[in-house]
A and B are shown apart, each in its own frame.
Chain A
Amino acid sequence: MHEVSIADSILDLIERQLGSPHALVKVELCIGPLSGVSADSLEFCFPTVALARGFGSPALSIQRTLVKIHCEECLSDYQVQDLMSFCPHCRSWKRTILSGNELQLVSATLGEEPYV
């Protein structure tokens, strides 16, 4: 829903590091299922925002993580894509979410010349 502003935030961070817009070849992100951000929507809007802001046409590479969960019943750790499923070992719903909120800019790969 708000992926255009997320795309803007990513480019703001890169611009702050570089001092100005620069032709990008690739941007790597890490997105968790609980981040509230749709990786598919971001892939859809990112090229348009990047081009409009003078960053060229970078490829967007998104590492989609899983939700890591600790079962409070059988004490095992497991990973799931969504939270509709219970513990695969003991079928309990009693759980603590360990991670899944990731929304991280991992790296940016720059081309040779500043983008004009």
Chain B
Amino acid sequence: MCEECGCKHPSTIFLNNRLRKIDLQIPVLQANQDFAQANRSLFLQHKIHVINLISSPGSGKTTLLQALASRLGEQMAVIVGDLQTDRDAVRIRDAGCQAIQIETQGACHLDAKSVGEKIPSLDLSKTKLLVIENVGNLVCPASYDLGEHEKIALLSVTEGDDKVLKYPSIFSRISTLVITKIDLQPYVDFDVARAEQECKSLSPQVKCIEISAKSGLGMDKLFSHFLRQ
């Protein structure tokens, strides 16, 4: 802020009579942060726990949410982001809970504003858990706070156990790592201990859970973890 008179304007330094430098010191994503904070206040008001679910495409986000929807029904709601089509929202609705789609039309992540605009379309009166299924991408969604309480990442065994340190910006910001498709582990060289150890080296408190949404293995543990709040 201005050091000359203490006003709230950023301080300006005249480098010469042509150039002036404005000292800003603002987070680049400040506008997104403001929208995220508004979302968070709304979630608090409705007493809803909110998860931002992040993974690469095809790691099993929607299959996991279908299984969750069939158990929780109207206690859960889902906002799902994809570049195009409402296929995922349809799959989750068919499984038994509210789901609305955000088609990003090419954008590689969801932002807090687009999520906030969809919240009024949901009936949150019976909702205890809102899952925001982000666009399948391990890079860009890491930068954007949506107003969630926690970020949870999925990593499927078919992707490889070396992915955690390749994408540290996301794996250092998560509360929980869910290793999916664990029923396929006998057919691939995925070292679960390595993935979990590397994830804990980025985020020491991270909780690791192994599941197969197809066989049901680990799903009870995951459900109680999602609903622990």
A contact residues vs B (CB 8 Å cutoff) = 1-2, 5-6, 9-10, 12-14, 17, 25-26, 29, 33-37, 72, 82-84, 93-97, 101, 103-112
Contact = CB atoms under 8 A, between A and B. Distances in A.
A34 B168 contact: yes
Contacts of A36: 139-140, 142-143, 169-170
A105 B33 CA distance: 14
Interface in B41-60: none
B29 A94 contact: no
A111 B165 CA distance: 43
A97 B140 contact: no
Given A13-B28, A34-B172, A95-B201, A1 B140 contact: yes
A29 B24 CA distance: 10
Interface stretch (B13-21, B93-101, B149-157, B214-222): B13-21
B137 interface: yes
B160 interface: no
Contacts of A35: 143, 169
Interface residues of B, number: 36
Nearest to B23: A107
B108 to A, nearest CB: 5
A33 B170 CA distance: 12
Interface of B: 10, 15, 18-32, 107-109, 137, 139-140, 142-143, 165, 168-170, 172, 197-198, 201-204
Contacts of B168: 33-34, 82-83
Nearest to B22: A108
B204 A96 contact: yes
Contact of A2 (B15, B19, B31, B107): B107
B143 A97 contact: no
A105 B204 contact: no
16 contacts: A1-B137, A1-B140, A9-B29, A13-B24, A35-B143, A36-B139, A36-B140, A36-B142, A84-B165, A104-B25, A105-B25, A106-B23, A106-B25, A107-B22, A109-B21, A111-B18
B30 A13 contact: yes
B148 to A, nearest CB: 16
Contact of B19 (A9, A72, A111): A111
Nearest to A112: B18
A37 B202 CA distance: 18
